[in-house]
Each structure stands twice: as C-alpha cells, then as structure tokens.
Structure 1
Amino acid sequence: MSTSPFQSPSEALPNRSIDIQSLAVRPVRFAGFWAAVLSPLAYPPLLLSGLDGQSLLVLLAGVFVVNVLGLLLGRGYRADA
C-alpha cells in the first residue's frame, strides 16, 4: 500500500482528543486526595486542646467532614499509575 500525500487533516494529525470531563475531574481528585491525607494531621492538636469550647467542637466536626469528603472525592486519584 502506498501513502497518499493528500491526507485529510484528521488523518494527518495524531488522535489527541482532549476530554473536558477529565480536565475537570483530575484537579478535584487531586485536591480530595490530599485533603484526605493531610486533614487527619489536625486531629491530635484539636483533641489534645481538650475541646473546651463549642467552637473547637465545631472545628473538629469540620475537619472530620473535610476528611470524609476528601476520601470520597479523592477516590481513584492516580489509579492508573
């Protein structure tokens, strides 16, 4: 088979389709993964402070929510590697 010098533009360029959904999902998974990894580091200082006030209890609950959301959103980050 011979190749023709007259190729259509779609045949001449390599197939590099950009998936918009993967461009949006990748940063969310990245942020979720690292939020799940780093947020538990806030537990010991919060628990050692004694949780005297209502604001510390709310802060502990907020860190817990960030941790759970990070686990959910970061699921599948770098699964291909």
Structure 2
Amino acid sequence: MELSIPGLMGAAIGLALGYVDFRVVGGVVESRLRKLDRSGSPDEKAVFERKLGVLRGVLFLGTVMFFPVIGYLLGLTVSGRG
C-alpha cells in the first residue's frame, strides 16, 4: 500500500482534531468524575487517581488511533483515490 499526500493530510487533520477532542472531552469527563469522587481515605483517593489515569490513557490512545485513521480514509475518499 502506497501512502498518499491527501491521505496523510487527512491523517494530520484527524490527529489534530483527535487531540482537541481528547483535551475537551477528557477535561469534561475528568471534572465530572472528580465531582462524583467520594474517597474518604488517602488509599481510596490513590485508587481513584490511578483509575482516572488509566481512563485518560485509554481515551488518549483511542483518539490518537481512531481520528487519524478516519482522517486518512476521508482524505483518500475526497481526493478520489479511495
């Protein structure tokens, strides 16, 4: 498979949009979860923070992998090569 310029441009735009989505959606989700946090002890707080970090990582990987792929495919389609 040969990489195309329109596909790479679409992937770059998808990556930028994915990062913006990660920052916005991640910020909203994190703030809502922090409001719901009922941790009483430092151990419970540490577990909550660890789970929040895992959620951030999964959300980041999802947007970094999903948006550029869709952008690449959309770039190919718009250019007529796909």
Q: TM-score, normalised by structure 2?
A: 0.41
Higher gyration radius (CA)? 1
Q: TM-score, normalised by structure 1?
A: 0.41
Instruction: Decide which structure has greater helix share.
Output: 2
Larger relative contact order (C-alpha < 8 A, sep ≥ 6)?
2
